[in-house]
Structure 1
């Protein structure tokens, strides 16, 4: 298109020279993998479609998994091997104490740990996941992050436990995201609507991997950014390409009553990942994807 006189709108956005420990630029994450049956379905679909899955994550937390379900998910992820990241719950939005979090102006409060009691509950949820062998947890609250990271440094949490910061934390500028990195974040999920220039500015400020939604659910914008996937890899590497799904219901908190829905959504997320990776191969054939198993993944320890 440049030869026809059209200039790219991202002209001047710097490419990232940073990489994963294995030298790769990108990895794949399938979110909303809410239980062991959904995990099995996601991995089966990935095998059928030849889609590499480096990480799966979920939103209901260890909190809403039975001991057996938690152990089964950890065992499956360790066997594959794939990183399993469980949300650290509960948070304000699931409680009855904060009316403000259910208002339009106070919605951001819903992703925070409210009071000392909830802070303790979230740390207990992390500890339960760790006891089951999980080595990656999703965190939304800076206080939880700082406290959990201090417990990791003190040896009360395993040294190989990783803190994946949820998109719901909402930090949206390089200085704020660098603060999360300093507090102990191992990977950061940026807001779903960041431009390439904004991603480049964050990448310049931090070294940890960024998690970027290539497609996001409706309650996070419903954006479909497959056409930008190569540019996102160039600008944000090392980056987890996160394939959510637009036009979907909110499924959190989840459970077996939603298994048919969550399983179907999980399979479609893998299909969307196939579409995205085919696009990446066409437009950036030299993009380097991590092999599996990948160095630095927070794999369950059984």
Structure 2
């Protein structure tokens, strides 16, 4: 990607990182994702901010878990997604960090916080998905390989709809292409990769699968506080098809979210949409011809309105 500074100052620009020829089913090379959209009112705030800034939001995701939303709230989330052509991806609620065991709350065990502990919690994880599917949701954040395999098998047997999307969480992000390929083989539909990947690392990941990759262009402090929205043109060129995710540095953690954190969640999500708007300005300035998917695009896990 030639940049204005290179054109002006004739700085060397390396072209040895291969561009991706991959695309989403609609021919687009990237989509915008806004994470930590924790309930209907936060989703409405995201949509309002998107209208203000002229940003197309293709996917919203949620981290507290479907299990912490009422059935009515799940249906409201599904209805908003269906009406606006936005994928709604909900975290599977049970996880070690919410469980009675102390391991996930220790420094050494924190990295396993998204996993499910024991058969009973695995059962609750599957039921969390089925409950949300009944309410119309069609996309889920997965942080446990056993759960991913179980859901894949249930989908293959017809017990879960074919259109459901299994989005591997950043909590399970692969650090190398071999691990990424394992997740793809286990049935992942789309995979979060670490937010600190170099261009070469991203190209290596892209070389082993045509699955969409999810990459934080800005991440929370807990994920390193990376801020690289200005790099969107290069990252899309190398990683397409790519979900460009906008977390937020210097923001209050809202997991698990409830009424006590609702104002923070709303402010956070509006700031994330603003960050996406700024990144899209950088994309336009670069001269890139990368296309973003429109609402209701093929391949999105858009919810169904519950009967």
Task: Confirm or deny that 1:70 pairs with 2:74.
Answer: yes
**Gapped regions of structure 1 (runs ≥ 5):** none
Distance in 2, matches of 1:193 and 1:140, equals 19
- TM-score w.r.t. the length of structure 2 is 0.95
Q: Which residue among 130, 134, 152 is the counterpart of 1:131?
A: 134
Distance in 1, matches of 2:28 and 2:15, equals 24
Correspondence 1:13-28 to 2 at 5 A: 13-28=17-32
The secondary structure found in structure 2 opposite 1:53 is: coil
Residue aligning to 1:264: 267
Q: What is the Cα deviation at residue 5 of structure 1?
A: 5.5
Correspondence 1:197-212 to 2 at 5 A: 197-212=200-215
Distance in 2, matches of 1:42 and 1:2, equals 35
Q: How many residues align?
A: 300
Task: Confirm or deny that 1:114 pairs with 2:117.
Answer: yes
Task: Confirm or deny that 1:44 pairs with 2:56.
Answer: no
Residue aligning to 1:6: 11
- Greater shift after overlay, 105-114 or 183-192? 105-114
Q: What is the Cα deviation at residue 170 of structure 1?
A: 2.8
CA offsets per residue over residues 45-92 of structure 1, 9 Å max, x none? 101111000000010111110111111111111111110000012100
* Contact kept? 2:87, 2:139, Cα under 8 Å: yes
- Greater shift after overlay, 191-200 or 279-288? 279-288
The secondary structure found in structure 1 opposite 2:300 is: coil
Q: What is the Cα deviation at residue 259 of structure 1?
A: 1.2
Q: What is the Cα deviation at residue 296 of structure 1?
A: 0.9
4+ long deviations beyond 2 Å: 1-8
The secondary structure found in structure 1 opposite 2:207 is: helix
Distance in 2, matches of 1:100 and 1:219, equals 18
RMSD (Å), alpha carbons:
1.2
CA offsets per residue over residues 247-281 of structure 1, 9 Å max, x none? 01211000122111111111111111100111111
The secondary structure found in structure 2 opposite 1:111 is: coil
Residue aligning to 1:148: 151
CA offsets per residue over residues 134-159 of structure 1, 9 Å max, x none? 00000011100001000000001111
Residue aligning to 1:89: 93
Q: Which residue among 228, 231, 251 is the counterpart of 2:231?
A: 228
* Contact kept? 1:281, 1:287, Cα under 8 Å: no
Task: Confirm or deny that 1:296 pairs with 2:299.
Answer: yes
* Contact kept? 2:37, 2:61, Cα under 8 Å: yes
Task: Confirm or deny that 1:240 pairs with 2:243.
Answer: yes
Q: What is the Cα deviation at residue 7 of structure 1?
A: 2.3
Q: What is the Cα deviation at residue 290 of structure 1?
A: 1.1
Distance in 1, matches of 2:77 and 2:275, equals 23
* Contact kept? 1:36, 1:69, Cα under 8 Å: yes
Residue aligning to 1:162: 165
* Contact kept? 2:233, 2:288, Cα under 8 Å: no
